[in-house]
Structure 1
Amino acid sequence: MTSVASLLREDPAKAPAAIERSPGYWTGVAKRVSRDKVAMLAGILILALVLVAIFAPWIAPADPYAGRTIRRLRPIGTAGFPLGTDELGRDMLSRLIHGARYSLMMGVTPVIMAFIAGSLIGIVAGYAGGRANTLMMRTIDVFYAFPSVLLAVALSGALGAGIQNALVSLTIVFIPPIARVAEAVTTQVRSRDYVEAARASGARALTIIRVHVLGNVLGPIFVYATGLISVSMILASGLSFLGLGVRPPEPEWGLMLNTLRTAIYTQPMVAALPGVMIFLTSISFNLLADGLRSAMDVKQ
């Protein structure tokens, strides 16, 4: 394909038309992602889980809260219970379907809130530089120094068990890494020629950030945050497993692992089902994030 630069050299009159026909950056990213079969498969699986979570009341074959002791711990393949039953005789398939709501919410919501807060902190610190950067980032480093698991457990223990407190704890855990990435990318963009030219022309800082900085830094930050969703799901499941997240009898995958741990010797396949769902969902978000990262790297 003839490049715009070659057309400028050969026939300047054709250059405007070539520029109009040339695909944009995000169009190229979408095309490269569509050619990545692994990323597309991961995206399809995530989309399917989202649809299952949305339409769970209509898809689930039984009430996820209704159980009978007489039918507890039925094996996979039992008539009427294709994935067996749990320790209270509740349908595992229905609980897994409804559990997608809680697990996806606990995985995605903290990352979204941390993406907004962390991006704001990092962009402001990266663009301001100097003492403001030092003050903001050293404060962030205090939280970043703790392991994410330890920090999440400590915050949830201090705030108390419950969905809302778990969401707050996970949000605080993910703000520091996102802020560090945002600060690093913004520092690079701040030194570019077009930003210096805008600053020399008298443009205000907010205008420069909105016009020249955001469009160049939000992409890498978004890709990094996408990869954190899998970590958020695992941490949320761990909090529920420890009794610091979702409370019984809600069908959350981590909580289901906790309640089924005593059945690992009698019905290991049934007890492993929530863990399998956590693994598949987490690896799907990781593969999708890797595909987006590769698609956004124009050097590849």
Structure 2
Amino acid sequence: MPNWSEVVLEIQAIEQAQMGVNPFDVVRKKYLSKIHQITGRNVIAYYSGWLQKPNFANTQVNDKDKSGFMLAINKLDKSKGLDLLLHTPGGDVAATESLVDYLYSMFDKDIRVIVPQISMSAGTMIALSSKEIIMGKHSNLGPIDPQMNGLACQAILSEFQYAIEDIAKNPSSAILWQTIISKYHPTFLGACKQAIEWSDRMVSAWLNYNMCEGEPEKVKTILKAFSNHTEQKSHSRHIPKKECIELGLKIIDLETDQELQDAVLTTHHMFFHTFNNTTAIKIIENHLGVAYFENHAAITPQKN
């Protein structure tokens, strides 16, 4: 399979030979189809262009994504299961829950997630709902601790608890803590607690249902590691394949199948080329060439 530079040459060759044809679409679909040929399974790529276009909205998981998945899943043979290529910074938890419920209704437990590079936050939640995750040495998942206004809910609750303890020991610190804690509105702490409980309950249910069925202690270990802000330190931490395996996740090494690895990474390169050279900021696309695009200014479902 071609590397990054060789893919560019393939794009340029199509551009020169076929006037009026979008070479990025042609080459991207070629390699998505190649993944299907190798696995014999349905393939859907869910790709965000947040790395190339960090200042644009709608690059995160949101409720509009379900429309893209409905388009991509329509007319697929559901009995062949689903291989879902994920590249996302994460996003809305409610939208994530709804999307996973929809995927279960279509494919039940027969869902594998392939992470070519990064699937963070809500993207990791989706990965944890699958029966197994295919990762390479370059692949990363991320913590799933809920965030509120860009702040870790667990960190907020910890800070508040520390304030209570500090004031009890040193009453003169109350004035200082009043200034710090006053930035939170009255219902904010309750909302943070509920967000943590909701996220943990949701991911725990998915792990128990699919990847870790019949292994409740393993579920607790995985959930504790991925949802613990104190342990992970940052919501943006990249958790590598080796650590995912050690925690008990069912991980398949992408490197064990050279043909599949080449097809996955070439497809990954093609999505990056597409984001770099078009107005697309998010793409949901299946191996048949049915694609849903979100662009800078508009949402455009397409079937090519």
Q: Same fold by TM-score, threshold 0.5 exceeded?
A: no
Larger C-alpha radius of gyration, 1 or 2?
Answer: 1
> Relative to total residues, which structure has the larger strand share, 1 or 2?
2
TM-score normalized with structure 1 length: 0.28
Bigger relative contact order (CA 8 A; separation at least 6): 2
Counting helix residues as a fraction of each chain, which structure ranks higher? 1
